[in-house]
A = this chain, B = another copy of it.
C-alpha cells in the first residue's frame, strides 16, 4: 500500500477524513431510504428502535475495536475536540487542584488554555521552544496531578507519540486527545481514563465526538457541572440525554463497521 492509499483511509492531516467508498454509498442511500424503511436517516426519531440499533452497533464496534474493559464507557457527544478541551477539566479538575499537560502542538496549547479556567495547570513537557518539531522525553509529572493530558498525534507539526509506555509509568490518570490517530494503530486503550476524538479525522464526519471514559474517575469534583457537560448524565442516558447528532453517529457506525469487517485496528496498522 502506498502512502497515498494509506492516507485515503486514515488522514493524518489537519483536514477531514477520507472515508471508505462503501460508507459514502450506504450513507447516500440512507438519506433517501434508511434500511428499506422508506424513511430518511434524517427524519427517524432518535428514540426509535431504528436509531437505537445504529447507536448500539456503533458502541459495540468501538468497544471491540478498542478491546475496552467494563469500566470504560463509550459516548458519542455533540461538538468537536475543542468542546472536550473544556469538558475534560470541567469534569475532572477542581479549582484548587493541578492537572499536568503536555504542550506539543496547537491542539495541546488550546486544551491548556481551557483547563486554566477550571484549575491549576502544570505544563510538564513541551516543544514550543523549537516550534513543536520534537517530542520531549524524560519529564516529571507531579504525583498529585489529577490527570496527565497528551495529544497522541500532532497533525500540524507531524509528530506522534509512538511509544506510550513512558506515560503508563507516571501512575496518574491519563487523558488523551486521539482525534487524528484513533483506531489507526494498536494502543492499550484501557490504560487511559479518558480518550476523546473529534469524529471527522478517523472515525466519521464532523459534528460528533467519541469519548471513552473510565467511569471510576467521574464524580470527584465539587463543581456544579451543567447538565449537558456532565459525562455521568450522558452515561446514565446512553448518549441520548438530548437529541444526539443522529446522522454523524450513523456515519461513525458505518465507519466502525467497515473497520471491523476489514480486520480491525491490527489490520489497518499492518497496511501502513
List residues of chain A with CB under 8 Å of any chain B CB: 15-19, 24-25, 27-29, 31-32, 40, 42-46, 78-83, 85-86, 90, 110, 113-114, 117, 198, 200, 205-208, 224, 226-229, 241-248, 251
CB neighbours of A19 from chain B (8 A): 40, 42-43
Q: Are B243 and A198 in contact (CB under 8 A)?
A: yes
Q: Are B226 and A117 in contact (CB under 8 A)?
A: yes
Using known A-B contacts A44-B16, A227-B114, determine if residue A207 contacts B32 with beta carbons closer than 8 Å: no
In the assembly, what is the distance between CA of A117 and CA of B225, in Å? 8
Q: Are A251 and B42 in contact (CB under 8 A)?
A: yes
CB neighbours of A117 from chain B (8 A): 224, 226
In the assembly, what is the distance between CA of A79 and CA of B16, in Å? 19
Using known A-B contacts A28-B32, A79-B228, A228-B82, determine if residue A207 contacts B246 with beta carbons closer than 8 Å: yes
Q: Which residue on B lies nearest to A118, using beta carbons? A: B226
Partner of A27, one of B31, B114, B243: B31
Q: Which residue on B lies nearest to A24, using beta carbons? A: B40
The 19 listed contacts between A and B (C-beta, < 8 Å) are: A16-B42, A16-B43, A17-B43, A24-B32, A24-B42, A25-B32, A28-B29, A42-B251, A78-B80, A80-B243, A82-B228, A85-B227, A86-B227, A110-B227, A200-B243, A205-B247, A207-B244, A207-B246, A208-B245
Using known A-B contacts A207-B246, A245-B245, determine if residue A43 contacts B18 with beta carbons closer than 8 Å: yes
